[in-house]
Chain A
Amino acid sequence: MKDEFGGFLIEREHISCLQIRVLFFWVDGSVWKMQLRQDAAGASTSTKLLSPSEGFGLLLFSGLDLTVSLLIISYLLPPQSLPLNPISRRKVSPPIYFSGVPPELILVIQLKLEVNIPLAMLSTLQPPRSLTLLPFRRFHGSKTIASLASSSPTLDASSVSPPQSQILTTRRSLLSGETTASEIAKSYLSRIRLTEPQLKCFLHVSENVLKEAQEIDQRISRGEEVGPLAGVVIGVKDNICTEGMPSTAASRILEHYRPPFDATAVKKIKEMGGIVVGKTNMDEFGMGSTTEASAFQVTANPWDLTRVPGGSSGGSAAAVAARQCMVSLGSDTGGSVRQPASFCGVVGLKPTYGRVSRFGLMAYASSLDVIGCFGSTVADAGMLLHAVSGYDRFDSTSSKQDVPEFDTQFLSMDSFESKPLKGVRVGLIRETLEEGVDSGVRSATQEAASHLEALGCVVTEVSLPSFSLGLPAYYVIASSESSSNLSRYDGVRYGNQVMADELNKLYECSRGQGFGGEVKMRILMGTYALSAGYYDAYYKRAQQVRTLIRKDFKAALDHNDILISPAAPSAAYKIGEKKDDPLAMYAGDIMTVNVNLAGLPAIEKLLKVGHIFEQTLKGSDFVPPTLPNVA
């Protein structure tokens, strides 16, 4: 008998034999399976710990009485993670139950105390002591160009294999029959259930994940073609429309709103077989740099639960970092992909303006908004970008230029020459390493530059004279456009409407109660900046600054193939630290906004450099700590 219960599959089979399997999900994506067996007589008991190469699985109890299983789960997991709990944990006092269960179960209960440890590890990045003795192999390393979040020393750099593309790994294992899409989906769902209580990356988790995965499996078993993203578990930022799933931009004014159409990017993902696992948390309408401005919940940084994941695409970045999904879509208006990627230690890719259709992306600042991609490797982010790129007749600002093939940029490490990036000219933007930038950030950036030099790049410092003008110009343009873009949320046609006797009251109350403080502030600023008499002084001048910045970037790119800079002046800060000081938070955007104003970048070379950089990175400071390879 199978019983789906809030996402946990509880199986009761072979009553004659007690079998308990427990799966542990590690923050780096590895999974261990523990199996306990007891035969009917209770005579022989086996406990097995299966290696991660066995693949993914689900937290699964077989053969136990349903109630007992639930009870165990309820002990294994923190209280808020038990969804739809019909058997309240508070109702029954566990010890009474446990007094009657076989000793093997006690073992599970003992283990359960350690199941909590991987969760705690999300912040400490230290494995539970008891498990370090067990056979274990690192599955993936988490490391990126801009990962500045951790400074823990690497234990043994030589044991680190370069990170592998999860999209390619998934495709290989699906097509070879090694695993099934359903298995993969189940494991991710389970991982979401496990980690969500602490992280709160998702505002909504799709109910159709397993169904979609099964369809892919059926197609594979029938020998049919499957798309390049088949079985890839993808998170989508909540301001990107998904048909049949709530899409609220983390705002009360759109609470429960379900769009009748998919954003073009989402449509493309679905057509290629990707599975949208859920909607990720964000700052309301993308306005913020911490994800604290979400109307619904605050997302924690998986590396340290007391810190912010960055924003506004904080949910998408944190979900990839915590391996709740393989890749995710975010949006970037002034740094909303790059900054959270940096804070969460994943790869974030902000494409050129117009590369990805904005149709279905709830507009914040239309002339700056782009849909961007997160992945745990450069290849993943690049492949996701490739999937969603291209001209769209529903977005007149989308680019008609052909989408180049990115695949050729992701060579395997064996094919690298000694100086694989020989002759690539890299410009290090001087203004991004000046005063106000944390020394850790500065040194990390310089180390990255040295690494590039070691790979054969020619690194020179470049100066963008207009750099400091970008931030004020960005805030004028973004607020102005948002004040207009958010006019449509008036409570008349959709979203939350407050009943009122007269029209102005309806607007006032619907918008007053629907929008959060940050959003209101930006609408007010933008309305002011666009008002008659101020337009020239603010909006028009900001647009002139924009032209200036574009010119500076162009000049810098005339002499360099790529430009590098840190994505933020500091690593992730504490939750609440800058909540009451919006100017300090805005200042954090200084590294990223200029690129939006200029509409950059050009992607091909960047991807190649990023990929090689990542693949060749050894023993660098910002690789998360790993375990000795005991096996």
Chain B
Amino acid sequence: MSTTLFRTIQPNHFTLLTTALLRTRTKTSRHISVRCQTSTTTQQPRTSAPKNHGSNKLDEILKDYEAVIGIETHVQLSTSTKAFCSCPNSYGSHPNTSICPVCMGLPGALPVLSSKVVDFGVRLGLALNCSLSLKSKFDRKQYFYPDLPKGYQISQFDVPIASGGYVDVDIPLEFGGGHRRFGITRVHMEEDAGKLLHSDAGDYSQAMIVDLNRAGVPLLEIVSEPDMRSGVEAAEYGSEMQRIVRYLGVSNGNMQEGSLRCDVNISIRPIGQAEFGTKVEIKNLNAFSAMSRAIDYEITRQALLYNQGQADKIVTETRLWDEGAQKTVTMRKKEGLADYRYFPEPDLPEVILTQEYVDSIRASLPELPEAKRRRYEAMGLGIQDVLFLANDVSVAEYFDEVIGKGADVKSAANWLMSDIAAYLKNEELSISDVKLTPHELAELIAAIKDETISGKIGKQILFELLAKGGTVQGMIKEKDLITDPVEIEKVIMKVISESPKQLEQYRSGKTKLQGFFAGQVMKMSKGKANPALLNKILLEKLNAKE
């Protein structure tokens, strides 16, 4: 912004320029302070609740209520084409470039289901421990909106492809830890709608632009049972969904791009009450942390209304999470139940699955996050390590490969969690970007373990391998490390012969001098001698009776 000012304002209006710059600066700093506030609230979610209540009092109130939370998750599938046409399914293309008569809903165009969508649906259904419908069908969900080209969405209504499953999650230690199981009501296939872009051309006409690139992109909708009770549980459920779809390779699970979207349904009720309270939906949650905060805010809001005898102010509505203000705001009230006039899609035949097909997919499923976590746990890793390693499928795969090469489990976990994780964070890379192969990491761990190299040298080698690649052996050679006992012995003999006085003192009992000899040898070998070998041979030579 300031550069623009420099360009447009004449240099001779110097005073004016300074004021302008100043104003800019103030603005910037104010902006920064806003952001600081935001990040503070991130760490302490409860403080964002209505302010006139003390934290203790609030906790008192919250104690009497129970939240009931269910989540609808939309997963955009990473198929190469859209669900019902052969348009490429690519994020971020120029508006309306990946469209065809089918996804534009032109007259006479018909949908043809991509088998990949069924494939992914079955995979996810199995991963979520659901029972599959060997015979399911598509239905039309009808409503008018400019981003919906056909005036209906092709979805599955009464016979979803999968239903009645569950998912197991581990709550991180910092949130109290523990293991939870949440029910999955159903998984069904459907298509995404387009996007509305509001023209910000600056003219007075409020043009609405419809981008249909996303229209027809395949989705799987996962509906959970109302089993979650807190923001943390909900966020952990969401993360587990993200892990599962990434493990399965059915979606990139990216929340920023909208590949994974969670809508939360939440109601609260006084503890002990059997029936549910009024349900409120929260949308626009583009991070799990936001989800957790939004839910906690909403629980507090509703509990306070209950507590103040204003429970009738809790109405069936859709609320948006406002990240800036850290609160939920009304988006639209739902007047009665929307009637989507579902009926079977006559353009698509039923989806028939054979048992062999299902079995073959079941057989091809990768190890899932929960199984991985339990396996790592059984290997003796702590829950922190387990959660870290199993969180990212590529990290987990990397780890598995490393230990597959025989590397020590604990060391491998430590390297991955500390130095490698730090490196990835600094360089903004993912594990798949690094040049260090799992094989070489295993080699490195082995080399340190058998003391071919020191831990210090090992760390040096690690960072070089991460950045440049190569092999541990090559690196040792390159660094001219002396690992040959004969070579080391030569240096030792030289040092000993050059320090007869110290040798005498040593042999007369001043064994502390071993450090002196070792230092001399290291100095002479320019730090390249293998320390373990060095000490071993040195000791032999020093103690050798002549």
Contacts and interface: CB of A to CB of B under 8 A. Distances in A.
A611 B210 CA distance: 53
Contacts of A443: none
Given A241-B107, A493-B104, A539-B343, A396 B348 contact: yes
A481 B347 CA distance: 10
B83 to A, nearest CB: 12
Interface stretch (A126-134, A258-266, A467-475): A258-266
Interface stretch (A61-69, A405-413, A528-536): A528-536
Interface in B104-123: 104-113
B346 A260 contact: no
Contacts of B105: 488, 493
Contacts of A260: 101, 106
B112 A484 contact: no
B230 interface: no
Nearest to B105: A488
B152 A484 contact: yes
A398 to B, nearest CB: 9
Nearest to B145: A503
A503 B347 contact: no
Contacts of A360: 108-109
Contacts of B111: 396
A527 B341 CA distance: 8
Interface string A228-259: 00000000000111000001010000100101
A366 B345 CA distance: 9
A386 B544 CA distance: 103
A259 B106 contact: yes
B339 interface: yes
Interface in B297-351: 337, 339, 341-343, 346-349
A487 B152 contact: yes
A247 B152 contact: no
Contacts of A394: 110, 112
Given A488-B150, A493-B104, A532-B341, A396 B142 contact: no
B373 interface: no
Interface string A377-405: 00000000000000001111100000000
A249 B107 CA distance: 10
Contact of A492 (B112, B210, B349): B210
Given A396-B113, A396-B348, A492-B210, A484 B142 contact: yes
A8 to B, nearest CB: 34
Contacts of B349: 396-397
Contact of A531 (B101, B113, B341): B341
A586 interface: no
Contacts of A539: 343
B143 to A, nearest CB: 9
A259 B210 CA distance: 20
Contacts, number: 106
How many interface residues does chain B have, given as a range? Answer: 20 to 34
Contact of B106 (A393, A484, A494, A503): A494
Interface in B379-398: none
**Highest count of chain A CB atoms <10 Å: which of B107, B140, B142, B346:** B107
A38 interface: no
Nearest to B111: A396
Contacts of B348: 396-397
B149 interface: yes
Interface string A323-347: 0000000000000000000000000
A81 interface: no
Given A484-B151, A490-B144, A507-B144, A530 B341 contact: yes
Interface in A536-593: 539
B140 A484 contact: yes
A487 B150 contact: yes
A247 B349 CA distance: 27
Contact of B101 (A257, A261, A481, A535): A261
B108 A359 contact: yes
Contacts of A241: 107-108
Interface string B143-171: 01010011110000000000000000000
Contacts of A432: none
28 contacts: A241-B107, A249-B107, A254-B107, A259-B101, A259-B108, A260-B101, A260-B106, A358-B110, A359-B109, A361-B108, A363-B110, A365-B346, A367-B346, A394-B110, A395-B110, A395-B112, A396-B112, A396-B349, A397-B349, A484-B142, A487-B151, A487-B152, A488-B151, A492-B210, A493-B105, A494-B106, A530-B341, A535-B342
Identify the 7 closest CB pairs spanning chains A and B, nearest first. Answer: A487-B151, A366-B346, A367-B346, A530-B341, A360-B108, A362-B107, A488-B105
Interface of A: 239-241, 247, 249, 254, 257, 259-261, 263, 358-363, 365-367, 393-397, 480-481, 483-484, 486-490, 492-494, 503, 507, 527, 530-532, 535, 539
Interface of B: 101, 104-113, 140, 142, 144, 146, 149-152, 208, 210, 337, 339, 341-343, 346-349
